[in-house]
C-alpha cells in the first residue's frame, strides 16, 4: 500500500475456534499479501463474538496470528456492539472495512454502521442484509442472490478448502510419531469441548484397543485442539474423573510424557495413542488412512483434505450432548436446568431423525462417509472400520467422492479482493464522522 493512501482499519468479526483456524487464518494471510505488512498503514483487528461452541481459548489462538495487531475477547462484545466501547479504548481510523468471518452477519452491519466503515461478509449458507453491505463472498452459486444485489456479490469458494494447500513431509511426520512407515495411521478426533470429549475420548480409546487387536498394524494419533491442555484431555480417560466412561463402554488411559518422544495416551489394554500438538494439523491428517470423528467442523476440514472418515454420534448419555447450534444449544447449556433441557432436546431430535450431519454428506446430499448414530459399541465400530481398511475399493471411493464435493482453493485471496474493492468505493467515512479522532 503506497504512503499516499490514508491509513485504514480492517475489523474482522468472528467467533469460534473452527472459524479462526479455517476462515480467519488464511484470510489474514491473504490480506497481508495484498495490502502489505505495515500496520501503520493497514491495521488488522479481531473482535470475537460469543459462541456456544467457544472453548475459551479463542483470544490466545487469534493472538498467535502474526498478521493481527489487536484482539478483543467475546466477554467484551456486547458493550462494544451496543455502546461502541472496546475494553482497551481502541482508536479508529477514518477509513476501514468490517469483515464478517463468523457469528451473526447482522452484527457486522451494526459494527460497520457505527464505525462508518464499508462492510464485507462471507456467506457459507445464505447471504443476509445485502441492502446494507458493500461486498459479499459466497461459497457457491447455490446461494441465491436477488438480481438487484448481484453486482456486489462474488462466488469465492470454500475457505476450508485452503487446507489443501500444504506440503507434507511424510517421513518426518512418521519419525515424529515413532510409528513404522508401513503402519495404517488412524486419526482420532474426539472433539475440543467438554460435551464431546466426555463421550469421545474414552469411546475412541476403546475403539483403538479393539481395532488394534483386529489389525495389529494400525497406529493411532489424536490431533489435540490448540485450546486443550494435555492434562485436561487425559482426565476424560480417567474413570475417577469421568463418570460417563463406563456408560459408553469406554476404556481408561493415562498420559505419558517423555523427553524423547511425543506425549501419548496409554490405554489400560496397552494401546498407544500419540498426541499431536502442532496446529493446524493438516499435514498430519493428510497422512491418515482414515479418521474417526464427531460431527462438526472437523468433518469439513477432513473433506477438504479428502481424508476418509467415520462420523460417530453415540447416544448412550443424552444429557451429556450439549453442542447443538442456535437456541437448542443455548437451552442445553443453561445453568441448573441445562441437563434436563439437553436430555429432552436430544431425545426429541433423535426420535425425529437427524438427517445428514457430516458436512461432506450435507454438501453431496447423500451419505458418502458413514454416519454412525445411536447406542454404539466400540467393538462393533472397530469392526466396521476394519472392514473399510481391508476393502480394496471403499477408501479410494470415499476419497474420490470427497474430492468431488470439496471446494477449490483460492477463496482467501478472493475474499481479500472483495476487501480491496470495498476500500476503493470511496476514501471518506460513510457517516461523515472523523472517527479517527475518537476512541471506542
What is the Cα–Cα distance from 427 to 96, expressed in whole angstroms? 9
DSSP string covering 305-337: TT--EEEEEE-S-TTT----SHHHHHHHTSTTT
The answer to whether position 3 is within a domain reads no
117 and 24 within one domain: yes
Query: What is the number of structural domains in the chain?
Result: 2
Structure-block grid coordinates of residue 244 = 460417563
- Residue 270, classified by CB atoms within 10 Å of its CB into exposed (0-12), middle (13-18) or buried (19+), is exposed
Asked whether the CA dihedral 176, 179, 185, 190 is positive or negative, the reply is negative
Q: 382: domain CATH number? A: 3.40.50.2000
Where in the sequence is the domain holding 309, given as residue range(s)? 170-405
Helix (H, G, I), strand (E, B) or coil at 40: coil
124 and 86 within one domain: yes
Q: At what angle do helices 378-390 and 194-214 cross, to 10 degrees?
A: 60
- Closest Cα partner for 20 from 299, 301, 408, 274? 301
70-72/272-276 β-pairing: unpaired
Predicted pLDDT of residue 210: 97
What is the Cα–Cα distance from 209 to 278, expressed in whole angstroms? 25
382 and 265 within one domain: yes
262 and 148 within one domain: no
Give the side-chain half-sphere CA count within 13 A for 153: 25
What is the Cα–Cα distance from 304 to 299, expressed in whole angstroms? 9
383 and 247 within one domain: yes
215 and 76 within one domain: no
pLDDT in tens, 337-389: 445 545 554 555 555 555 678 889 988 889 999 999 888 999 999 999 999 99
Q: 79: domain CATH number? A: 3.40.50
Predicted pLDDT of residue 326: 44
The answer to whether position 2 is within a domain reads no
- Provide the CA 355 distance to its chain's centre, in angstroms: 21
174 and 154 within one domain: no
Q: H-helix or E-strand containing 338?
A: helix 338-352
193 and 108 within one domain: no
The answer to whether position 306 is within a domain reads yes
Predicted pLDDT of residue 317: 57
83 and 176 within one domain: no
What is the Cα–Cα distance from 363 to 354, expressed in whole angstroms? 15
Predicted pLDDT of residue 4: 57
The answer to whether position 1 is within a domain reads no
265 and 142 within one domain: no
277 and 356 within one domain: yes
What is the Cα–Cα distance from 71 to 86, expressed in whole angstroms? 10
pLDDT tens series, the chain, 440 aa: 444 568 999 999 999 877 888 899 999 999 999 999 999 999 999 999 988 767 677 898 899 999 999 999 999 999 999 888 899 999 999 999 999 999 899 999 999 999 999 999 999 888 999 999 999 999 888 788 999 999 999 999 888 877 555 555 677 787 888 888 789 999 999 988 787 898 899 999 999 999 999 999 999 999 998 778 899 999 999 999 998 898 889 999 999 998 888 999 999 999 999 999 987 788 899 899 999 998 877 888 898 889 999 999 887 654 445 444 444 444 445 455 445 545 554 555 555 555 678 889 988 889 999 999 888 999 999 999 999 999 999 999 999 999 888 766 789 999 999 999 999 986 544 443 333 334 45
pLDDT in tens, 241-285: 998 898 889 999 999 998 888 999 999 999 999 999 987 788 899
Give the side-chain half-sphere CA count within 13 A for 330: 4
Asked whether the CA dihedral 357, 299, 108, 439 is positive or negative, the reply is positive
C-alpha distances in angstroms, 286 versus 111, 168, 274? 38, 8, 16
- Closest Cα partner for 47 from 91, 105, 108, 136? 108
The answer to whether position 182 is within a domain reads yes
- Residue 271, classified by CB atoms within 10 Å of its CB into exposed (0-12), middle (13-18) or buried (19+), is buried
Structure-block grid coordinates of residue 83 = 455502546
The answer to whether position 47 is within a domain reads yes
270 and 157 within one domain: no
Amino acid at each position: 500500500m503506497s504512503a499516499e493512501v490514508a491509513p485504514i482499519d480492517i475489523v474482522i468479526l468472528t467467533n469460534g475456534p473452527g472459524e479462526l483456524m479455517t476462515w480467519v487464518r488464511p484470510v489474514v494471510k491473504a490480506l497481508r499479501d495484498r495490502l502489505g505488512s505495515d500496520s501503520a498503514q493497514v491495521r488488522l483487528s479481531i473482535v470475537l463474538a460469543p459462541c456456544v461452541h467457544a472453548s475459551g481459548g479463542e483470544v490466545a489462538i487469534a493472538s498467535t496470528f502474526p498478521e493481527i495487531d489487536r484482539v478483543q475477547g467475546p466477554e467484551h462484545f456486547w458493550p462494544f456492539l451496543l455502546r461502541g466501547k472496546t475494553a482497551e479504548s481502541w482508536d479508529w481510523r477514518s477509513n476501514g472495512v468490517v469483515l464478517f468471518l463468523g457469528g451473526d452477519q447482522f452484527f457486522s452491519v451494526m459494527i460497520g454502521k457505527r464505525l462508518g466503515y464499508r462492510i464485507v461478509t462471507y456467506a457459507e449458507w445464505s447471504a443476509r442484509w445485502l441492502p446494507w453491505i458493500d461486498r459479499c463472498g459466497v461459497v457457491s452459486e447455490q446461494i441465491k442472490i436477488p438480481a438487484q444485489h448481484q453486482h456486489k456479490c462474488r462466488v469465492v469458494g470454500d475457505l476450508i478448502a485452503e487446507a489443501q494447500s500444504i506440503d507434507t513431509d511424510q517421513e518426518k511426520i512418521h519419525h515424529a510419531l515413532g510409528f513404522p512407515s508401513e503402519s495404517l495411521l488412524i486419526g482420532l478426533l474426539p472433539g475440543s469441548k467438554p460435551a464431546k470429549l466426555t463421550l469421545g475420548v474414552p469411546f475412541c480409546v476403546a475403539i483403538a484397543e479393539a481395532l488394534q487387536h483386529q489389525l495389529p498394524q494400525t497406529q493411532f494419533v489424536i490431533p489435540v485442539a490448540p485450546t486443550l491442555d494435555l492434562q485436561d484431555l487425559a482426565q476424560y480417560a480417567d474413570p475417577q474423573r469421568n463418570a460417563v466412561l463406563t456408560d459408553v463402554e469406554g476404556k481408561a488411559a493415562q498420559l505419558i510424557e517423555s523427553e524423547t518422544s511425543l506425549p501419548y495416551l496409554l490405554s489400560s489394554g496397552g494401546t498407544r495413542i500419540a498426541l499431536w500438538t502442532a496446529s493446524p494439523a493438516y499435514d498430519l491428517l493428510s497422512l491418515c488412512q482414515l479418521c474417526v470423528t464427531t460431527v462438526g467442523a472437523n468433518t469439513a476440514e477432513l473433506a477438504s483434505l479428502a481424508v476418509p472418515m467415520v462420523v460417530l454420534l453415540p447416544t448412550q448419555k443424552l444429557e451429556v450432548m450439549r453442542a447443538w447450534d442456535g437456541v437448542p444449544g443455548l437451552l442445553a447449556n443453561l445453568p441448573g436446568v441445562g441437563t434436563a433441557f439437553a436430555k429432552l432436546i436430544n431425545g426429541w431430535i433423535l426420535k425425529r431423525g437427524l438427517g445428514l450431519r457430516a458436512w461432506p454428506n450435507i454438501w453431496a446430499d447423500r451419505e458418502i462417509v458413514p454416519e454412525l448414530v445411536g447406542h454404539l459399541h466400540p467393538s462393533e465400530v472397530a469392526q466396521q472400520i476394519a472392514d473399510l481398511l481391508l476393502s480394496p475399493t471403499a477408501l479410494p471411493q470415499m476419497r474420490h467422492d470427497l474430492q468431488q464435493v470439496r471446494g477449490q482453493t483460492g477463496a482467501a485471496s478472493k475474499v481479500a479482493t472483495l476487501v480491496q474493492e470495498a476500500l476503493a468505493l470511496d476514501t471518506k467515512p460513510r457517516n461523515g464522522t472523523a472517527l479517527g479522532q475518537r476512541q471506542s
